[in-house]
Amino acid sequence: MAEREGSEPVRAACAPVRRVTARVNVAAIERNCTRLRTELRGGAALCAVVKADGYGHGAVQSARAAIDGGASWLAVASAREVSELREAGLRDVPVLVMGALSMAELEEARAADADVVVWSERDVEQLAAAGGGRVHVKLDSGMGRLGTRDPAEASRVAAAAMAAPGVELAGVMTHFATADDLEDDGFFAHQLAAFTSWARGVKEQQPGLLIHAANSAAMLREAEAQFDMVRCGVAIYGMDPFGKNPGARALEPALELSSYVAEVKRCEVGESAGYGRQFVAERDTWLGVLPIGYGDGWRRGLSNNADVLIGGRRYPLVGTVSMDNITVDIGDEAHERVRCERAILIGFQGGERITAEEVARRLDTINYEITCGLTARVPRTYHRDGVLLAQLVGP
C-alpha cells in the first residue's frame, strides 16, 4: 500500500460496483413454482401472488418466471399493480386484484381486465353501474379484515353477482389467519370447515366458479385447503412460509442482497463506531464499512444484531445501522485483504449462507417483510442461474 509523506495512505479505488445490489434468479422462481405444483391435487391451479413488487423481487420479472413455472393465475393487491403487469405485456394471464378498491381504482382494474373481490351487494351494484366485470366473493371466515363474516350475506352477494347485468361470478374465496402456525389452537381447522361448508353450497348453484383459500402455508400444510386454486406468495420466491429452513421444503431462495467493503479502518480499545456509540471496542480491531443502511431497507433493528459474509466467512455487524452505512468487525486477520470485497447480507458465499429467515428471526418478524422492505434505492438485476437477463432496474 503506497503512502505519501505526511499524508494518509493512498488507497486504490475499488473496482466499479454498485453500493448495493439485489440479484434475483428468475430460474429459482420458476423452479419453486414447478416444485409447488407437485403438491397440488385434483387439478388445482397455481396462482402466483406478485403484489408489493413481487415481495421485493420485481413484479413483472417474477410474474413471467412464475408463468414459466406453471402458474396460470396472478394476484396483486391494487389496481396500479395489475396495470403495471398489463403494460409490461402480460395481457393474457388472468389477474385477481385482492385488495379494496375505490371507484377510481375499480375503473382502472376493469380497464386492465382484472377480476376483483367483492363482499357486499353495494360492491356488486357499483361494478354493474361501471359496466360489469368478473368478481370473487369473499367470506371472512376468521381473518377479521376484508369480507363479510356472515355466510348468509356472502350468499346474497353471490346471488346478486349472478343476477347483475354485466357481472360474472367467477370465484369464492377466504384467507387464513393462522396457516403458518403449525401449533395453532385449531383455528385454522375452524376456518377451513366454515369456508368449505359455505363455498360448496355456492358452487352447487354455479358449478364453474373457482373456490380458493390457501396461501403458501395452507397449501403445504393441508391438501383439503387447496380446492380449485391456491394463492402462493412467499414460497414462490423460495422463502419458507413457516419461517424455517426453506431448503427443508425444497424451496430455493431467489434473492441475493450484496454490498462491498468500501473502507477498512483501525478501531482501538475504547474507540467507537456509529451513532450513539452503541459499539465500543473492547480490543484492538479493524472495522469494515459497507455502504448500505436503512435507506436501502437494512433495518436499524439489526444494529449489533446481524452477520455479513465476506470472503465466505461470517463477520458481526457492530454499531448502529445508519441510513447509508454499516460497520462490521473484521478483527486483525487479513484486514486489508477484505477491502473492496463483495459482502453478502442475504445469500450464499463459500460454505456459508444467510437467509431471509435468519434476518427475520433477529428482528422478530417474517421473512418476506425483509425482502418487501428493500427500498427503490436498491437496484435489482435479473439472471438465470448466473446468466444476466436484464440490466439494472432501479437507481
Give the residue numbers annotated as catalytic, written as ranges: 51, 275
Which stretch of DSSP H or E encloses residue 316? strand 313-318
Cell, residue 31: 423452479
For 356-394, give the secondary structure using H, E and C.
HHHHHHHHCCCHHHHHHCCCCCCCEEEEECCEEEEEEEC
d(CA 95, CA 77): 10
Closest of 14, 24, 18, 56 to residue 292, by C-alpha: 18
Closest of 95, 94, 164 to residue 126, by C-alpha: 164
d(CA 330, CA 317): 9
Spatial neighbors of 333 by CB under 8 A, at least 6 apart, are: none
- Tell how far CA 372 is from the center of its chain: 5
DSSP β-ladder status, 263-267 and 133-138: unpaired
